[in-house]
Every structure is written in C-alpha cells, then in structure tokens.
Amino acid sequence: MVIKPFHTLVRAVFGVLTLALATALPLAAPGSAEAAVAKKAKTSAVAKKSQARPVAKGPRKAGKRTKAKRVVRRPPSIGQMTGLHKTDDPLDLKSSVALVVDQQTDEVLFSKNPDAVLPIASITKLMTALVVVDAGLSLDESLQVSQDDVRGTVGSRMRSKLRPGTTLSRGELMHLSLMSSENRAAHALGRTYPGGLGAFVRAMNRKAAELGMSDTRYVEPTGLSADNRSSATDLARLVRAASEHPVIRDLSTSLGAVLPVGAKPQPVQFRNTNGLVHNPEWAIGLQKTGFISAAGRCVVMQAEMAGRQLIMVLLDSAGRYSRVGDAERLRKWVSEQNLLPMFGRRSAPLPAPVPAEPPLSVVPAPVVAPVVPSLPKVPPWQPVSLSPTSAALPALDPTRPWVHVPALPLAVERPPESAQAR
C-alpha cells in the first residue's frame, strides 16, 4: 500500500521534467521539416537585403575595400566673407582680385579690387627669397632641416618631402621654396638667417617698406599664417623687384629637380606647382603660387605678352584650377587688345633707327649762253663787172647798205608768127 503511491509520485515528477525539457529545446531540430523551412526563410531574407544594396560597377580587387569619397568642405576665404567675389568684371574671372601691369611703364591694363588687402599664402616665399639674396648669404652653405622646421610648419595641408636630418645647400632650399613651395625649406631659410627667425621677419617688413608696399605685413617666412597680407598693387612691386635677380627668375620657373632627402639621403623628385611653366604658349620669366583656406588660390607672374613685359597678379581664386583658367583668359584678352605704346611711353626698347640716306646736294648748273647757230659768212660786196650793155651804170659802192639798181630794158626773144598762129 505504501510502495504504490511512491511509484506514482516518481512517474509524475519524471513526466513534468520531460515536459519542461521538451519545451526548453528548439522546436525545429536539425534535419527536420521545420528546420528546412526556417533555413529557407533566413536565406530569402539575406537575398532581399543584398538586393537592396547598390552594386559596385567594375572589377573589385580582392582584399581591398572600396572607400566612399569624402567631401572636404573648407572654410570660406577672407575674400568670400567680405563679398569681394561679387565684384563684376568683363572677363567673369573666378578670382576676386586681379591686376595686369606693364612692367616698364606702370600702365594698368586690367584691374579688379587691386587695393584689397588679403592673405597671400605662399606668395610670401617670394619675399623670403628676395631677403636672402639681398643679404648676400652664401647659396652654397649647407643647412640641415630640423625639428624646429617641422614644428614651425604645423598646419600645412601639403605633405612635406623634406624629412628632418636632410642636408641641402641654401640655394637648393631656396629652389624648393620657390619651385615646389616647400614650407620646411622656407622656414629653414628664415631660421638660419643671422639673428634668427625674428630678425628675418623684421628684414622682410623692412624690405617691403623700401619697395613702397604700404599695405603689406609679414609675420613668418612660409605663408602658412593668414596674417601675412598684401594687396595686388604691392605684390606687383614685389614681382618687379624680384625679377631683377636672375637666380630668383631661374629657380622659380624651373620645371623640376631631383635632390637627396633624409638622414640617409635618397633621391626624391620635386616638381613646379605652377603648371603654366610647362605650357609653350607662355613665356614666363618669374612665378609663384600660393594656397591656404583664408587666401584661396593665388598666383603672381611676370611674363611676355603681346610684345610687352607684363606683371599679372591673381588672388583669392575659388576652385582648384580656376586661377589657371583666369590667367588664360587674361592672356587671351591681352593678345586681342591693341597694346601699342601710348605717346611718350615705350613698352620695350625700340629697334635702332635706320640711318636715312643723305639728301641730294643740288649744284646749280653753270650758266651757258644760248648756242646760236653760226651763219655762213657772207663775203663782202665786190664790184661787179657788167656787160657792155650796162656800162653806163654807175659803179657799186660796197659800203652802202643797199644799192638801187634802175630798171634796165631787157631784150626779149619773140617766137615767129607762124608759131603764134598755131
């Protein structure tokens, strides 16, 4: 009697545990019909999701993921914030400031906001090179790029190829500063100036004052600071002064160079930042480009156009290639104009005058008496011997101008009458 209820209780507990275990396990075991249905539903969901994604066109390299193109929005330039881009001009330039000046006569051929004071970016390096040349420092002296030059150029968007420990001559550093706009090279030129970087900046401002650049101010030698500011009128004076030095002209227009870089020197190639120097339609004697967000795209050039030596300044151009397009528009416009020198001005030395032929000397002809044909000589009057019939006539006097001869009877023979009758 006691054992039977115990067995019943064990069976009941076992049933409850079995029911609980069956409830906890997945309803669809692998291999069952329910599992197949669930797997099919999961596959269809993944397929729908993959169809919703855009399919990339073209072959895809294994092991590399395609990165979405990131749009970089730079802050507006000073010219954009001050509304200079709204200024209209006949050529519809993208630059808010433009100026074209005859280098020899100072005649302004084209201008747009020429007195606006704006950041000038790496155009600063033109003054950096001018101060180095005027100081008479040896261009063959070896200088080393240091960590001070790295720290002094923090904030540059352009990656520098000059690693710390690179040893180059002062002339090579100036070459890279003008041609490739190397910020570390320009900073090293200022740092190694007698008296240090502060003395170099003071020399830059002093030189600007000597050139009459009253709207210009420099705070460092690279142009990375937006506090380096000037106007197009002042920059035209700077270009004129820099173009007087052949070394600056040659280095700024160089197409490229290969120089040893690094503590363990390795050859590295550098190129000119101004693509117009490769264009055979341009005769550029000096150039410098510049760019920071506050300044926009800038370029200054000295070039020959329409038989003239012209200075061109373009500041605060919006767009990567817009300054090149503006320069081409100005060159075409200048070529189409009638730019003959004005009265009293000479755009270029005139050819030597051709010596004129000496005037013909008029010698008066000698006065010659008119030639009168000589008349035959008439022999003097001679006495005429008369026949006996005229013996009664008086003798002729040859001294008389005329002689009166009386009429004489003449003997006339008459035909016979027989002949008259006929």
- What is the SS3 string spanning 319-386? CCCHHHHHHHHHHHHHHHCCCCCCCCCCCCCCCCCCCCCCCCCCCCCCCCCCCCCCCCCCCCCCCCCC
161 is catalytic: no
Tell me how far CA of residue 213 lies from CA of 53, 99, 242, in angstroms: 60, 15, 14
Which residues fall within 8 angstroms of residue 273, CB to CB, at 6 or more apart?
Answer: 179, 180, 181, 289
HSE value, Cβ hemisphere, 13 Å, CA-based, for 106:
4
Q: Which fold has domain 78-336?
A: Beta-lactamase (3.40.710)
Instruction: Tell me: pLDDT of 228 over 90.
Output: yes
Q: Which residue is it, tokens 């006996």? A: 388
Active-site residue identified among 94, 125, 207, 288? 125
Question: pTM of this prediction?
Answer: 0.65
Over residues 50-105, the pLDDT tens digits come to 555 554 555 555 555 656 666 557 789 999 999 999 999 999 999 999 999 999 99
Predicted local distance difference test score (pLDDT) of residue 69: 60
Active-site residue identified among 95, 96, 122, 177? 122
Contact indicator for 194, 126 with CB cutoff of 8 Å: no
Q: Mean pLDDT score of the chain, rounded to an integer?
A: 79
Q: Which of 126-140, 175-189, 396-410 has the lowest mean pLDDT?
A: 396-410
Q: List the beta bridge partners of residue 48.
A: none
Distance, CA of 333 to CA of 103 (rounded, Å): 18
32 is catalytic: no
Contact indicator for 229, 217 with CB cutoff of 8 Å: yes
Active-site residue identified among 96, 181, 230, 252? 181
Identify the CA nearest to 183 among candidates 212, 234, 210, 149.
149
Q: Which residue is it, tokens 């227009």? A: 253
Instruction: Tell me: pLDDT of 349 over 80.
Output: no
Predicted local distance difference test score (pLDDT) of residue 392: 47
Predicted local distance difference test score (pLDDT) of residue 345: 38
Residue 350 pLDDT level (bands cut at 50, 70, 90): very low
Instruction: Tell me: pLDDT of 180 over 60.
Output: yes
230 is catalytic: no
Residue 145 in tokens: 């790029």
Domain ranges of the chain: 78-336
Over residues 194-214, the pLDDT tens digits come to 999 999 999 999 999 999 999
Residue 122 in tokens: 């790496």
